[in-house]
Amino acid sequence: MSNFEQWGTLAIFVIVGCLLYAVIMTVNRIMRPSVPSPQKLTTYECGVEALGVGWAQTNIRYYIFAFLFVIFDVEAIFLFPWAVIIGDLDATTRISPVFALVAMFLFIGTLLEGLAYAWKKGVLTWD
């Protein structure tokens, strides 16, 4: 299969997906009941009026913990395919096993450096 045929197949799937999305949304718009009422047009459909202000100050540590979780979750996502592929590498492949091993250690080292920096700054302590 040539490169052009592969991209053509992808283009067909994208076009069919977009058309399917357009058809589903159009059928949804045509078939759904549209009965707007003053109650439905309020901010909350549950019937309870909002009290007070919607703004509240949140501790920045929640965001930092979430960000650190995402970073190490992405690391795990990168480690699994690498672990599967590294066993198939040998002297005949384009990428040498030593290069793949060094690249992964550099990647893990960069993440550990970030973790050490966060630890040094006291981000991981909970008061």
Report the Cα–Cα distance between both ends of the chain, in Å, rounded. Answer: 60
Average pLDDT, stretch 26-42? 83
Distance CA 112, CA 20 (A): 45
Q: What is the pLDDT of residue 38?
A: 76
The answer to whether residue 54 sits within a structural domain is: no
Structural domain including 19 reads: 1-37
Q: Provide the domain count of the chain.
A: 2
- Same structural domain for residues 70 and 107? yes
Q: Does residue 51 sit within a domain?
A: no
Asked if 33 and 67 sit in the same domain, the reply is no
- 78-85 CB contacts, 8 Å cutoff, 24+ apart: 78/107, 79/104
Q: Tell me the whole-structure pTM to 2 decimals.
A: 0.48
**64 and 106 part of one domain:** yes
* Same domain as 115, residue 84: yes
Residue 55 inside a domain? The answer is: no
Angle (nearest 5°) at CA 30 between 22 and 46: 100
Q: Taking CA 30 as the corner, what is the angle to CA 27 and CA 12, rounded to the nearest 5 degrees? A: 25
Note whether 114 and 67 are within 8 A (CB). no
When comparing pLDDT for 28 and 78, which is higher?
A: 28
- Mean pLDDT (whole number) for 47-68: 75
